[in-house]
């Protein structure tokens, strides 16, 4: 199949030599036909590697004779001859044919990007290997020396957070992921070296992408290493301060425990002494005597209280009886003045029979005394009299009196009973 390579060999010195040698090693006797016999296998060797593979016939140089570092294996698919060329001369149809056959593509559709990707994939690990062989020892020395101070100083300080372990406040820290201000200046704030190189939370950590640190990371690493001595000392002092703080807290806690134990022991001793004194025979007898006297006093006080209550009750009975006697006398006596005043207020001429209890009897007596002294009644007093004269049932005394006058069962009110009794008296007279 005829095709035009994306990157044809030109007419330069090394290109001409390669064309000639490829033709000499091919079955075809001209380059245009011979070039279709060759394909890149994907095998690559770096001249700095410890072991040289068997297919390398001229280490350190391309088939054209030009000095190279990376050796790309090529195969003549017609006669199985194996050779190697450098990275400049592998960027041709050799790769295009390999990509076309590997991915089952039309060779004319393969792009320069696909060719470059093919090369990058095969040289990445060897570039990393070459870099580590040349710089690995010094890198690891510097990185191991500064990684701890990097995690502490190449950060942004956040809000103050209480640390329960040390019982103090300290700022929260976040790794700085971007550098700030000019490199090497007084105000230069370096992005975290650990974050960029191998931090587990960084999906773009260089150890996983390129496999070796880029130039910017190396510059920052070198700068941090140069400035590391005072930072290491500062970090060491901070660590010592934390150790001292923990020892201080332990001492404080031990003192608190000791003081608490002493207080408990003193309290227990006082309790034991109080109990010992409490249990002495003389104190037991004293408490028993005090209890006996207390009980006697209590009983005597109860007796005195009862006597006082009896006296109060007696005085109350005498007072009540005297009040009742006065009320009865007051209600028993009547005259024209009282009769006229009852008529004036529209109330019956009342006597003791209108009262159903002591309160009503006393109330009626006070009203009668008030009227006889020419003192007018208030509306409140009239309201209190109304139920006594109207709704209250006839008293037992009224009922007995009515029976003595020949009246059988009577169910009226006190007012009605009073009227009935008055009428019967008039008839008898």
Report the DSSP beta bridge partners of residue 155. Answer: 175
Q: Counting beta carbons within 10 angstroms of the beta carbon of residue 210, is it exposed (0 to 12), middle (13 to 18) or buried (19 or more)?
A: middle
Residue given tokens 């009196």 in the structure block: 401
Give pLDDT, residue 3.
38
In a domain, 293, yes or no: no
SS3 (DSSP) at 158: strand
Split into its structural domains, the chain has a count of 3
Q: What is the DSSP letter of 393?
A: B
SS3 (DSSP) at 70: strand
Q: Model pTM? A: 0.49
CA distance 313 to 307: 10
> Per-residue pLDDT averaged across 184-188, rounded?
88
Which residue, among 337, 356, 333, 335, has the nearest Cα to 345 in the 3D structure?
A: 337
Query: Does residue 19 sit in the same domain as residue 98?
Result: yes
Query: Does residue 97 sit in the same domain as residue 148?
Result: no
| Residue after which a domain boundary falls, among 175, 195, 226 | 226
For residue 4, pLDDT beyond 70: no
Query: Does residue 84 sit in the same domain as residue 147?
Result: no
Query: Does residue 423 sit in the same domain as residue 327?
Result: yes
Contact 356, 395 (CB under 8 A): yes
| Residue after which a domain boundary falls, among 192, 226, 260 | 226
In a domain, 378, yes or no: yes
Query: Does residue 74 sit in the same domain as residue 160?
Result: no
Query: Does residue 371 sit in the same domain as residue 323?
Result: yes
Contact 35, 93 (CB under 8 A): yes
Torsion, Cα 341 347 351 353, to 10 degrees, reads 180
Give 296's contacts (C-beta < 8 A, 6+ positions apart): none
In a domain, 33, yes or no: yes
Q: What are phi and psi of 241, to 5 degrees?
A: -60, -40
For residue 75, pLDDT beyond 90: yes
The CB density around residue 364, as the number of other CB atoms within 10 Å, is 22
Q: What are phi and psi of 107, to 5 degrees?
A: -60, -25
Report the DSSP beta bridge partners of residue 83. Answer: 74
User: Two tokens at 298?
Assistant: 């209590």
Give pLDDT, residue 334.
81
For residue 264, pLDDT beyond 70: yes
Give pLDDT, residue 252.
94
User: Two tokens at 127?
Assistant: 């570039």
Q: What are phi and psi of 180, to 5 degrees?
A: -130, 140
Task: Determine what percent of the chain is predicted with pLDDT higher than 70.
Answer: 95
CA distance 375 to 369: 9
* Number of helical (H) and strand (E) elements in the chain, helices listed first: 15, 5
User: Two tokens at 25?
Assistant: 């090693």
In a domain, 212, yes or no: yes
Contact 388, 355 (CB under 8 A): yes
Report the DSSP beta bridge partners of residue 189. Answer: 180
Average pLDDT of the chain is 86
For residue 294, pLDDT beyond 60: yes
Query: Does residue 187 sit in the same domain as residue 90?
Result: no
- pLDDT tier, 100 (very low <50, low <70, confident <90, very high otherwise): confident
Domain holding 53, by residue range, is 13-110
User: How many residues in the chain?
Assistant: 429
Per mean pLDDT, which of 67-76, 224-233, 323-332, 392-401 is the most reliable? Answer: 224-233
Question: How are beta strands 70-76 and 82-85 bridged, if at all?
Answer: antiparallel
CA distance 244 to 157: 23
> Per-residue pLDDT averaged across 15-37, rounded?
92
Residue 421 vs residue 230, higher pLDDT: 230
Contact 91, 102 (CB under 8 A): no
- pLDDT tier, 91 (very low <50, low <70, confident <90, very high otherwise): low
Residue 51 vs residue 238, higher pLDDT: 238
In a domain, 102, yes or no: yes
Give pLDDT, residue 65.
93
Contact 78, 27 (CB under 8 A): yes
In a domain, 30, yes or no: yes
In a domain, 297, yes or no: no
- pLDDT tier, 116 (very low <50, low <70, confident <90, very high otherwise): confident
For residue 1, pLDDT beyond 60: no
Which residue, among 366, 419, 359, 358, has the nearest Cα to 390 in the 3D structure?
A: 419
118-163 confidence digits (pLDDT tens): 877 777 777 777 788 778 899 999 999 999 999 999 999 889 999 9
7-21 confidence digits (pLDDT tens): 677 888 999 999 999
In a domain, 237, yes or no: no
| Residue after which a domain boundary falls, among 46, 77, 110 | 110
What is the b/e burial string over 340-350, where b = at least 16 CB atoms within 10 angstroms of the residue's CB?
Answer: ebbeeeebbbb
Query: Does residue 328 sit in the same domain as residue 423?
Result: yes
Query: Does residue 94 sit in the same domain as residue 155?
Result: no
Query: Does residue 197 sit in the same domain as residue 96?
Result: no
Residue given tokens 């005090």 in the structure block: 290
Query: Does residue 167 sit in the same domain as residue 206?
Result: yes
């Amino acid at each position: 199949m005829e095709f035009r390579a994306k990157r044809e060999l030109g007419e330069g010195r090394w290109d001409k030599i390669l064309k000639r040698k490829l033709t000499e090693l091919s079955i075809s006797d001209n380059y245009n036909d011979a070039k279709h016999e060759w394909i890149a296998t994907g095998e690559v060797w770096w001249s700095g590697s410890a072991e040289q593979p068997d297919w390398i016939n001229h280490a350190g140089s391309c088939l054209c004779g030009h000095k190279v570092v990376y050796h790309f294996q090529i195969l003549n698919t017609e006669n199985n001859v194996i050779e190697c060329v450098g990275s400049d001369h592998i960027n041709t149809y050799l790769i295009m044919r390999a990509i076309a056959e590997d991915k089952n593509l039309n060779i004319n559709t393969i792009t320069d990007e696909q060719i470059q990707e093919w090369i990058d994939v095969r040289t990445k690990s060897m570039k990393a290997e070459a870099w580590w062989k040349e710089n690995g020892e010094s890198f690891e020395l510097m990185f191991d020396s500064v990684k701890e101070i990097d995690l502490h100083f190449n950060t942004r300080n956040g809000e103050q957070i209480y640390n329960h372990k040390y019982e103090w406040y300290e700022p929260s820290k976040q790794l700085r992921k971007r550098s700030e201000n000019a490199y090497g200046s007084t105000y230069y704030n370096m992005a975290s070296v650990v974050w960029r190189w191998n931090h587990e939370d960084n999906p773009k950590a260089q150890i996983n992408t390129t496999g070796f640190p880029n130039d910017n990371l190396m510059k920052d690493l070198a700068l941090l290493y140069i400035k590391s001595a005072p930072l290491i000392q500062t970090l060491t002092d901070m660590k010592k301060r934390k150790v001292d703080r923990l020892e201080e807290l332990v001492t404080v806690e031990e003192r608190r425990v000791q003081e608490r134990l002493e207080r408990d022991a003193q309290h227990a001793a006082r309790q034991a002494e109080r109990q010992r004194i409490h249990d002495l025979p003389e104190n037991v007898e004293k408490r028993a005597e005090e209890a006996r006297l207390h009980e006697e006093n209590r009983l005597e006080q109860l007796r005195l209280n009862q006597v006082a209550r009896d006296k109060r009750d007696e005085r109350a009975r005498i007072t009540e009886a005297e009040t009742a006697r006065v009320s009865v006398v007051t209600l028993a006596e009547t005259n024209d003045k009282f009769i006229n005043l009852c008529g004036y207020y529209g109330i019956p001429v009342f006597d003791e029979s209108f009262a159903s209890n002591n309160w009503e009897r006393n109330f009626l007596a006070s009203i009668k005394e008030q009227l006889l002294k020419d003192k007018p009644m208030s509306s409140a007093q009239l309201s209190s009299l109304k139920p006594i004269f109207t709704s209250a049932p006839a008293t037992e005394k009224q009922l007995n009196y009515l029976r003595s006058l020949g009246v059988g069962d009577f169910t009226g009110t006190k007012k009605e009973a009073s009227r009935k009794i008055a009428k019967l008296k008039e008839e008898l007279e």
